Structure 1
Amino acid sequence: MQLTHRGHACLLLEEQDQRILVDPGTFSDLDDLTGLTAVLVTHQHPDHLDPRRGPELLRANPDARVLVESQTAELLADQGLGGRLERLEPGGRVDLGPVELRPVGEQHAVIHPWVERIGNTGVVLEAGGTALFHPGDALDADPGPVDLLAVPVNAPWGKIAETLEFVRRVAPRRGVVPVHDGLLNDTGRSMYLKHIGDFGAEGGVEVLDLRGVGAATL
């Protein structure tokens, strides 16, 4: 399994003939992304689905399957993409060639009482004996045993104590991949990663930081 961090919440997973993009949002590098076989969207917020570049990306990859959270599907259908959409149904399974997809979770984390909660469906992607969980914007889903956890580092809804509890509860066998970091400068980001590495498990957890390293085989 090869992973590339395309900025903020966006990951590109490559396995054999599959090129699967997760959460192409406003903080992400979406340039020159062609040959995609699937695009996954965990929820409708623009930092996970760029309202302008997202539809352009889908049109530039006409053969890609488009699997999206249910409320997001309704929004994309209004933009003329309804015929391509497949809804992520929690508890289901989707075969993407050598990659198996399992949707997990139903609601976005609480931001504050004045913002209505929306749908959020995370994804477990398993290939070659390695399972990666990308939760989108929620910390309450149960993905089952996984090797890698894409952990949201910082968000308006986030609190580091809750992030650490999430990492400890999921207990990824190999480590965490930092995502959702577009609001942080380098100094602040380093502080968050140190907390996660030091306290995400008894004795610490490995932080597999993919920012700026290109595709990494995990």
Structure 2
Amino acid sequence: MKLTKYTHACVRLEKEGGVLVLDPGTFSESAEALAGAQAVLVTHEHADHLDTPAVVKALQDDKDLVLYAPEGVAGQLRGEAPAAADRIHAVEPGSTFQAAGFDIRSFGGQHALIHPQIPVVANIGFLVDNNVYHPGDSFIIPDGITVQTLLVPLHAPWSKSAEVVDFVIGVRAPRAFQIHDGLLNDNGLGIVEGHVKRIGAKYGTEYRHLASRESVEV
């Protein structure tokens, strides 16, 4: 499977002609990532994970494109793109389905807490082909599964570095790449990635930084 990292939280997966895009948000090159996609997975409603105009346009332009997201996101998008309503599917935690030729499992249920006065929204983590795990904005560890490729949210208003490192240790995937890095400058990125790479290696995880638009086989 080919994995292409876009800015911040967006990732594109390709396998045997199938193209799946996760979290095309406003911080990312969403239109580019969505070009030619057959399916889109959205973890939650925040704009850095969902570029609504770009996603609606993609759904309107491609009558075969399907999208999976938590119910609140799915309902919003059905309102924005009524002609595509039957191709926009709500996902609950613990679901299994196929999209663009990939096997998908869903985990979690809610976004990590930012502050008690900020409402918590639904968040679904997606495991693709028992290989690539995108947790969205959470540190939910998939149960009963050995993750092969972990996408690590490096920095967010809801996290601290110790939690990032503990998430990597908890999942213990053989390889890991960064997501949710759009709020870090080079100095901050170097510090957080240094911790993840050094400590993760002690528990069998090889961490590697991917530049925007860089691809790797996983």
Question: TM (normalized to structure 1)?
Answer: 0.91
Secondary structure of the residue aligned to 2:196 is helix
Q: In the alignment, which of 113, 123, 126 is matched to residue 120 of structure 1?
A: 123
Runs of 4+ deviating beyond 6 Å: none
Cα distance in 2 between the residues matched to 1:104 and 1:146: 13
Tell me how far apart the structure 1 counterparts of residues 184 and 209 of structure 2 sit (CA, whole Å): 15
Separation in structure 2 between the aligned mates of residue 153 and residue 60 of structure 1, nearest angstrom: 33
1:184 and 1:40 map into 2 onto residues whose CA distance is 24
Q: Secondary structure at the match of 2:206?
A: coil
Cα drift, residue 30 of structure 1: 1.9
Residue 98 of structure 2 is matched in structure 1 by: 95
Distance across 1 between alignment mates of 2:204 and 2:191: 15
Measured against aligned partners, the alpha-carbon deviations of 1:61-100 in whole angstroms (never above 9, x if no partner) come to: 3312111112211211221243221122221211235421
1:83 matched to 2:86: yes
Identity across matched positions, percent: 36
* 8 A Cα contact 2:26 2:50, kept in partner: yes
How far apart in 1 are the matches of 2:212 and 2:95? 34
1:29 equivalent in structure 2: 29
Structure-to-structure mapping, 1:129-208, within 5 angstroms: 131-143=131-143, 144-172=145-173, 174-202=174-202, 205-208=205-208
Aligned residue pairs total 214
By percentage of residues, which structure has more helix?
2
Q: In structure 2, how many angstroms separate the alpha carbons of the residues matched to 1:106 and 1:96?
A: 20
Structure 2, unmatched stretches of 5+, are: none
**Aligned equivalents of 1:194 and 1:204: distance in 2?**
15
Range with bigger deviation, 162-171 or 18-27? 162-171
| Pair 1:62–1:185, CA change in 2 (3 A) | farther
Letter in 1 for 2:205: V
Q: Deviations over 1:113-146 (max 9, x none)?
A: 11010100010001xxx61110000113425211
What residue is the counterpart of 1:105 in the other structure?
108
- Aligned-residue Cα RMSD (Å) equals 1.7
**Conserved? CA contact 2:78–2:85, under 8 Å:** yes
TM-score by length of 2: 0.91
- Other structure's SS at 2:40 match: strand
Q: 1:98 to 1:51 in 2, by over 3 A?
A: closer
